Chain A
Amino acid sequence: MSASLQKGINALKEVIDAPVASYLNSCVHCGLCAEACLFHLETGDPKYTPIHKLEPLRRVYEQEYTLLGRLKKMVGLSKAVTDDELEEWQELVYDSCTMCGRCSMVCPVGNDIVYMVRKLREGMAVSGHAPDGIKGATKRTVEIGGPMGLKWPAVANVIKKAEAATGETINVDKPGVDYLVLLSSMEIVNYPEYLEALVKIFKKAGITFTLASDAFEATNAGMQIGASDIAKVIVSRIINSAEKLGVKYVLSPECGHAYMAIRWEGPNLIGRPYKFEVRHVLEVLEELRQKGVLKMKDKFKEPLILHDPCQIVRRGGVLEAPEPLVQTVAENYIPIVDKQKWNWCCGGGGGASAIHTEEAEALRAKAFRIKKRQIEENGVNTMVTFCANCRIVIEEGFDHYEMNTQLLGLTELLAEHLED
């Protein structure tokens, strides 16, 4: 295979820009980023300090793009980045970083640490130092169509079931409709009720939509592993299909990284804006709620708290939509202290949930204690969220700690209580 350290260093050289340089030169080693990182807080291990995760990037920057650094390298006074070091860093850059972005929220000198982690992954990936789990997901996405190896027939099956459950026809490959609907494999496999909920709501709202048989997968393992060329290939499937179908909008589903990929990274990967608009499902629902379309026939009565998925809220900018939607369907919504853009990550984003080594799973279990405490401190038995990966990771967490907390998906909850 063709991964090499040289390719990795070259990739880093390509992605280093003025923000990276500014950030790396601003760090004063205050350690506050560690106080915002759930992996550090729940393990107490200083190696998980976010800025420390960037050490290889910092040295490449110094040795390649600074005068003094270059001079130091010329006289042999600098420490080169090695394969062994990158191997050691795999755990720091992938297992213990979900790219949740909380570190960037607290750094007093204004460093966007997650911005740099994303770039470091470009070097990690092509030097062969990405975790096997994410490599596998990427391979399956490129070769088969999705990270879990799902092929269209499985999707078609889910569509058929949803049609049966709702009594509606679900368009496939239909041009000229309002929305191209995307799904994440996790939803297709674990939460197919999401599609039913969508159908129900869109029917009520009079929104036309279609799925695409050549572009149903919303997630982008290429982005998570840090291989922009591969991410581009994956996201282009959606872009080409959407532009071919001539839809006005592409609907990003309840999946965090999918939103990041299609809404924010996609145009930059292909180098131009789209001929359509990307909207997150919650943005659409909130708009409908404001228009008065989302009238509830009854409300969910149990007290519940909301988990804000990092990639949608803090990183994606869908800040205002979720809470009013929760309030509209829940009678007893308890806002938590660290909410909205201050939320705590479920511990499984950024591809972490695809890493199935013993150490990675133990680490995620430790990190989950933050969510466990949120539930216990608020004395609730129900949590609602809107990302299929968060759902699977949180449910695994509940399992591990033998909690009988109920986890609900927001779109499904809304559809369930929707007035007919």
Chain B
Amino acid sequence: MQGPLIDTLARRGVTRRTFFKYCATLASLMALPPSAGRAMAEAMAAAPAASKRPSVIWLPFQECTGCTESITRSHSPSIEGLIFDAISLDYQETLMAAAGHQAEEALHHAMKENEGKYLLIVDGSIPLGLDGAYSCIAGKTNLEALKEAAKGAAAIVAMGSCAAFGGIPKANPNPTGAVSVSDIIKDKPIINIPGCPPIPVVMTGVLAHYLTFGTVPELDKLGRPKAFYGETIHDRCYRRPFYDQGKFAKTFDDEGARKGWCLFELGCKGPVTYNACATVKWNAGTSWPVESGHGCLGCSEPDFWDGGGFYRALSRPADPLKMAATAAAVGAAAGVAITFANRAKKSSAKAAHETVTLADLEK
């Protein structure tokens, strides 16, 4: 395997073998056949010189920068970072050196030069309220910026739950009128990579897939790559046996919690959350929320902020019951009303009673 990337890696002390192992891991995580690992390695290794590398433009909208933080907190920073050597990250506000007019210049130049070919990454939701005035960059609303950038993009990656589904800005009462990328762009392939934030290797894995094969990976109904979002947390959770046995922690420091019992009762949304946390974990496989003793928030699902509360078990009502008392009272009133009506009817039937004689037996 030859190529500029291999040389760069070798200079930083990463052997070819290590690089290949990394690609193989990536491929297996995405449930691709073994040959795909090699294909990925060869494709990335052969990444051409800077000017010919695929252009990637990253536009941040109503976001918290968590997704950028996550992708840069990879478990092998040197390798994750080097993925960026396989692409030409032409615009990324957090990572780029330029600012102000220079940054704008870089953006427009990249869009023009690579028209129809660049990969557009978006993080953060897009506000529609006040004609988009809630979030503007360089005098342009996010909405305008997205539409403009989407026109020349080959594909769009909606990075993080905000871009994929609207995220926290969209949470009730959604004061800015926040929406997701796919609410606005309807004519380009969109890969949703939700999570708040998404797992680092999920982000890089999807990019690697795109770079290798030039295609969007297989997506589920919500536009998420099935390779990482095909299973629920619940189905891959190491605490599942406790769920099945009914052993639940009832508070965060009771005996059950200390014994590592299931966190369903404490609001874990594992059963309805599709993500790779239970298998891939976080921080180079150090741990993940459940393993650390906190239930899954469901952060890779749409509208998880309004899902009834992080600490309310799935089988509990999402909101306190409001109608029960009134409904019961209304029901009782209806019952009492019909009772009176029935009494009246019975009385009049009795009053209408004429003593039955033999004549009454014949028509």
Residue on B nearest A231 in the bound complex, by CB = B356
Residue on B nearest A230 in the bound complex, by CB = B356
Residues of B within 8 A of A225 (CB): 361
Q: A13-B345, A14-B346, A64-B345 are in contact. Are A1 and B359 (CB under 8 A)?
A: yes
A128 touches B362 (CB 8 A): yes
Q: Does B15 make an interface contact (CB < 8 A)?
A: no
Q: How far is the CB of A347 from chain B (nearest CB, A)?
A: 24
In residues 311-354 of chain B, which contact A (Cβ within 8 Å)?
Answer: 334, 337-338, 341-342, 345-346, 349-350, 352-354
B338 touches A66 (CB 8 A): yes
The total of interchain contacts (Cβ-Cβ below 8 angstroms) comes to 69
B357 touches A230 (CB 8 A): yes
Interface size class of A (residues with CB under 8 A): 20 to 34
Q: Does B363 make an interface contact (CB < 8 A)?
A: yes
One of A2-10, A88-96, A253-261, A409-417 contacting the partner: A2-10
Q: Does A306 make an interface contact (CB < 8 A)?
A: no
Q: A14-B350, A128-B361, A138-B361 are in contact. Are A67 and B338 (CB under 8 A)?
A: yes
Residues of A within 8 A of B361 (CB): 1, 3, 125-126, 128, 130, 135, 138-139, 225, 227
Q: Does B254 make an interface contact (CB < 8 A)?
A: no
Q: Does B245 make an interface contact (CB < 8 A)?
A: no
In residues 58-91 of chain A, which contact B (Cβ within 8 Å)?
Answer: 64-67, 70
Residue on B nearest A21 in the bound complex, by CB = B342
Q: Does B358 make an interface contact (CB < 8 A)?
A: yes
Partner of A2, one of B334, B350, B360: B360
B349 touches A128 (CB 8 A): no
17 sample A-B contacts, Cβ–Cβ < 8 Å, listed by A number: A1-B361, A1-B363, A7-B354, A11-B353, A11-B356, A13-B346, A14-B349, A14-B350, A65-B338, A67-B334, A67-B341, A125-B356, A126-B360, A128-B362, A130-B361, A138-B361, A143-B358
Residue on B nearest A13 in the bound complex, by CB = B349
Q: How far is the CB of A8 from chain B (nearest CB, A)?
A: 10
Complex-state Cα separation, A70 to B346, whole angstroms: 14
Residues of B within 8 A of A125 (CB): 356, 360-361
Residue on A nearest B363 in the bound complex, by CB = A128
A13-B346, A139-B358 known; 19 new pairs, CB 8 Å cut-off, are: A2-B359, A2-B362, A10-B349, A10-B352, A13-B345, A14-B346, A14-B353, A66-B338, A125-B356, A125-B360, A126-B356, A126-B360, A126-B361, A135-B361, A138-B361, A143-B358, A225-B361, A227-B356, A230-B358
Q: Does B2 make an interface contact (CB < 8 A)?
A: no
Complex-state Cα separation, A73 to B341, whole angstroms: 15
Residues of A within 8 A of B334 (CB): 67
Residues of B within 8 A of A70 (CB): 341
Interface residues in chain B, defined as those with a beta carbon under 8 Å from any beta carbon in chain A: 334, 337-338, 341-342, 345-346, 349-350, 352-363
Complex-state Cα separation, A360 to B49, whole angstroms: 105
Complex-state Cα separation, A227 to B355, whole angstroms: 10
Complex-state Cα separation, A142 to B352, whole angstroms: 24
Complex-state Cα separation, A37 to B355, whole angstroms: 34
Interface residues in chain A, defined as those with a beta carbon under 8 Å from any beta carbon in chain B: 1-4, 7, 10-11, 13-14, 64-67, 70, 125-128, 130, 135, 138-139, 142-143, 225, 227-230
Complex-state Cα separation, A138 to B358, whole angstroms: 8
Residues of A within 8 A of B355 (CB): 229
Partner of B362, one of A14, A64, A135, A143: A135
Complex-state Cα separation, A225 to B360, whole angstroms: 12
Which of A138, A225, A229 gathers most chain B CB within 10 Å?
A229
Residues of A within 8 A of B341 (CB): 67, 70
A7 touches B360 (CB 8 A): yes
B342 touches A1 (CB 8 A): no
Complex-state Cα separation, A284 to B35, whole angstroms: 100
Which of B334, B360, B363 gathers most chain A CB within 10 Å?
B360
Q: How far is the CB of B218 from chain A (nearest CB, A)?
A: 49
Residues of A within 8 A of B338 (CB): 65-67
Residues of A within 8 A of B353 (CB): 10-11, 14
B345 touches A227 (CB 8 A): no
Complex-state Cα separation, A230 to B337, whole angstroms: 35
Residue on B nearest A128 in the bound complex, by CB = B363
Q: How far is the CB of A12 from chain B (nearest CB, A)?
A: 9
Q: How far is the CB of A5 from chain B (nearest CB, A)?
A: 9
Q: A10-B349, A13-B345, A65-B342 are in contact. Are A142 and B362 (CB under 8 A)?
A: no
Q: How far is the CB of A119 from chain B (nearest CB, A)?
A: 13
Residues of A within 8 A of B349 (CB): 10, 13-14
Complex-state Cα separation, A10 to B357, whole angstroms: 15
Residue on A nearest B353 in the bound complex, by CB = A14
Residues of A within 8 A of B350 (CB): 14
Which of B334, B356, B360, B362 gathers most chain A CB within 10 Å?
B356
Complex-state Cα separation, A127 to B346, whole angstroms: 19
Residues of B within 8 A of A3 (CB): 359-363
Complex-state Cα separation, A155 to B334, whole angstroms: 59
Residue on B nearest A125 in the bound complex, by CB = B361
Residue on B nearest A12 in the bound complex, by CB = B349
B357 touches A229 (CB 8 A): yes
Q: How far is the CB of A405 from chain B (nearest CB, A)?
A: 37
Q: How far is the CB of B362 from chain A (nearest CB, A)?
A: 3
B362 touches A1 (CB 8 A): yes
Closest 9 CB pairs of A and B: A1-B362, A128-B363, A13-B349, A229-B356, A67-B338, A3-B363, A14-B349, A227-B356, A126-B360
